[in-house]
Amino acid sequence: MKKLVVLVMALGLISPVMAQNRQICIGQTIGGDCINTIFTAVPFLRINPDARSGAMGDVGIGISPDANSMHFNASKLAFAEKDLSIAANYTPWLRNLGLNDVYLAYLTGYKKLDEFQTIGVGLRYFSLGNIQYTGLQGESRGTGRPNEFELAAAYARKLSDQFSVGITGKFIYSNLASGQEVDGNIIDPGIAGAADISATYVKKLKFNERPSVLRIGAVVSNVGSKITYTNSQKRDFLPANLGLGAAWEMQLDDHNSLTLALDINKLLVPTPDTLDLDNDNRPDYRDKSPIEGIFSSFGDAPGGFNEEMRELYYSLGIEYWYDQQFALRAGYFFEDITKGGRRYFTLGLGVKYNIFGINISYLVPTTSQRNPLDNTLRFSMLFDFGVFGATE
């Protein structure tokens, strides 16, 4: 079991079986602030699968819509210009550790029903590769191929020329170590359902006497049932998240355009009480319902308001297009060091020809902390079919 535990911890796949003990703030401080990372089950739902966004610091809520909008903000699909679009994405995972069979694949697409309505579907598959299971004494317990997937369907609708809303339903399946036994508990696949609710506002502006577009989006994602891998009464939260984003797309001249984008995100999950976890007289934060956990997440940090603010993480991105055929992108992602400390620059490019487009992104770490995507290329392919409403 040791190899599985190491891999699972490296991926951040924390379950009730594998992480009963939460971090306690004793000797774990930075500048006087407690290290208190928020853990959830099935965090693969929050992995950005899109190389375009991945090259822009993982922004995605407000940038122009495409098939990968299903992951960030489904309501944008109502403003999509193409009648039909399909995207295929591939993200290697932990490649720096020599693991060649751990990856995230994402296939998604949308179809416009009419001027106001759009539907989308998506399949996310996360492979954890081949695992050799062992017991606590090192005895062999066979092999397996842990995997997780998500099936999603979305509906987006314009409520006006400037405003749209969207809703997404999800089925989540997580098979980390099915059939294995830990502390007398048989591990089963985890199953859950979730939903996203999103909204987008689009405003056409003028920049230097040329057209520009401001998009502002908001999304509450992965709101649903809790999940467990055993018969334990303690179930873990899904990675529910609140995201706010804006993007300003400027047409510089007849051939050049530039987009500036910013996303701010916050997990809607209770913060562990690191100050008194072993006091059995205090309620366990995991006993909260998903809805109670969402509302309490805005004011339950042991460090008060300052810690709540540290739970925000930021994405900043820029995208340059030449003649809508060649794109250069860059971005930066920032997370407070007491909440995980993910900080990195991103770079990438895109090429579009006729109905086909391809995007590539590369992550450049800025701290000594290892990132699963260190020095890794991500790829996305898009196929756009027709301009909606066009006539021959």
Task: Give pLDDT tens digits for 367-387.
Answer: 777 778 887 889 999 999 876
User: Look-up: residue for tokens 């502006």?
Assistant: 205
Predicted confidence (pLDDT) at residue 5 exceeds the cutoff of 60: no
**Higher-confidence position of 141 and 345:** 345
Determine the pLDDT at residue 125. 97
Query: Is there a contact between 133 and 1 (Cβ–Cβ < 8 Å)?
Result: yes
Determine the pLDDT at residue 23. 41
Predicted confidence (pLDDT) at residue 16 exceeds the cutoff of 70: no
Determine the pLDDT at residue 390. 54
Determine the pLDDT at residue 273. 75
- Residue range 2-386 forms a domain whose CATH class is mainly beta
Task: Report how far residue 9's alpha carbon sits from residue 11's, in angstroms, rounded to the nearest whole number.
Answer: 5
Q: What is the 3-state secondary structure (H, E, C) of the chain?
A: CHHHHHHHHHHCCCCCCCCCCCCCCCCCEECCEECCCCCCCCHHHHCCCCHHHHCCCCCCCCCCCCCCHHHHCHHHHHHCCEEEEEEEEEEECCHHHCCCCEEEEEEEEEEECCCCEEEEEEEEEEEECCEEEECCCCCEEEEECCEEEEEEEEEEEECCCCEEEEEEEEEEEEECCCCCEECCEECCCEEEEEEEEEEEEEEEEEECCEEEEEEEEEEEEEEECCECCCCCCCCECCCCEEEEEEEEEEECCCCEEEEEEEEEEEECCCCCCCCCCCCCCCCCHHHCCHHHHHHHCCCCCCCHHHHHHHCEEEEEEEEEEECCCEEEEEEEEEECHHHCCCEEEEEEEEEEECCEEEEEEEEEECCCCCCCCCCCEEEEEEEEEEECCCCC
**Higher-confidence position of 260 and 274:** 260
Residue 25 pLDDT class (50, 70, 90 cuts): low
Determine the pLDDT at residue 184. 72
Determine the pLDDT at residue 160. 95
Q: Which of 95-99, 180-184, 273-277, 385-389 has the lowest mean pLDDT?
A: 273-277
Q: With a threshold of 0.85, does the pTM exceed it?
A: yes
Residue 137 pLDDT class (50, 70, 90 cuts): low
Task: Give pLDDT tens digits for 53-76.
Answer: 999 999 999 999 999 999 999 999
